[in-house]
Amino acid sequence: MPATVVITIARQLGSGGSYIGQQVARRLGYAFIDRQILQRAAKELGVDEAEIEGLEGSPQSFGEELISVFKVGAPDYIYTPPPPSWASYEQLAEIERRLITELAVQVSCVVLGRGAFHLLRGRARLLNVMVHAPQGFRVERVMSTYHARSKAEAVQMIERSDQYRSGHIRALTGLDWYDTRNYHLTIDTAKVDFATAEEMIASVATRLPADEAWPWVNEPI
């Protein structure tokens, strides 16, 4: 039986990566893995999701305004979590690492964020995607989709999101989130519309070799 197919989507706020990931999952009949990871981690820890949401950004982000995705089918939104007193970033990261690895074996899926491109490296039938766009494109989309009140506020949201996400990846993997060697495919949605991006990802994913992993060029020597 061939291995499951796993598509990981890293994305910049305002680039449309979450939407594209959902569309690819629907198109291929794959599971879309996002909030389920947080829900299962909370269940294992015996706490409410709200108590650990603030731990997903970076080790330094407790109690700060954090931009992340916490709803399947919804865009990123601003959340200000209370500082958790009982759990650590390392605890949550370890649970999410295990859950993502287990799910990838069980079902073909699209995994949004959470450093999955690194956690699943070396497995067969893995496609790592980065969705990005220039700031101007992202500002317009943040204002229209996430209801930023001004361009200045949209820029601030984008800068904070990039900081938290890149910090999370650095803490989790030791890698630079922006390094294109982490990904098999990078898509600029200012140049490639969402429908075409969906088509590109789905086309490549359905052609992955069944029993051979692509070389991961950013593997430390």
pLDDT tens-digit series, residues 180-210: 999 999 999 999 999 999 999 999 999 988 7
Q: Distance between CA atoms of 119 and 106, rounded to whole angstroms?
A: 16
3 compared with 15, residue with greater pLDDT: 15
User: Are the C-beta atoms of 79 and 164 separated by less than 8 Å?
Assistant: no
11 φ, ψ to 5°? -155, 150
33 φ, ψ to 5°? -105, 110
Q: Which two tokens stand for residue 172?
A: 């989790």
| Terminal C-alpha separation, the chain | 32
171, amino acid identity: A
What is the average pLDDT value for the chain, to the nearest integer?
79
Considering the entire predicted model, what is its pTM?
A: 0.78
Instruction: Give the residue extent of every domain in the chain.
Output: 6-205
Would you tell me which CATH number, out of the four given (3.40.630.30, 1.10.1740.110, 3.40.50.800, 3.40.50.300), belongs to the domain 6-205? 3.40.50.300
What pLDDT, on a 0 to 100 scale, did the predictor assign at position 13? 95
DSSP for residue 53: G
